[in-house]
Amino acid sequence: MGVNYLTSVPGLIKLVEEVFNFIGFMCIACTNGVSAKGDAFLAASIGAFIITAIFLVIYVLDIQERVGIPWIKIQFFYCVIWGLFYLITAALVIDLGSGYVDSYVAGGVFGLFATTTYFIDAFFKYQKEQ
């Protein structure tokens, strides 16, 4: 597939996930507030950013073709688990942010956007596996 992966629907979804991960991370990281809920969101966004970037590299370099691993199933479970993790942490920082720090609310909203894209990605992976 190579670089053409970036123009396919799954590739574009991964790129959108990366954008939402980065913006959500920046919103929370740029605050002066320190909280366990904000730290959990940072862990979710940084972890998702790194793992999604790894999946992008795997597909752009066609590594998935050379290695006999069920990539679709792995990505499906990754997207579901990370979508749930994002949903929980985004709700926590939005709740914390209301009346506390507006950038927490903004980060949480981008976390919800990322949640949606991860669930959409999981849906496409599920359809492809069927």
C-alpha–C-alpha distance, residues 71 and 99, integer Å: 43
Concatenated DSSP letters of 5-21: GGGSHHHHHHHHHHHHH
Q: Model confidence over 102-130: pLDDT tens digits?
A: 888 899 999 999 999 999 999 999 998 77
Task: Indicate yes or no: pTM above 0.75.
Answer: yes
Chain segment 20-68, per-residue pLDDT in tens? 999 999 998 888 767 888 889 999 999 999 999 999 999 899 887 788 8
Alpha-carbon span 30 to 36, nearest angstrom: 15
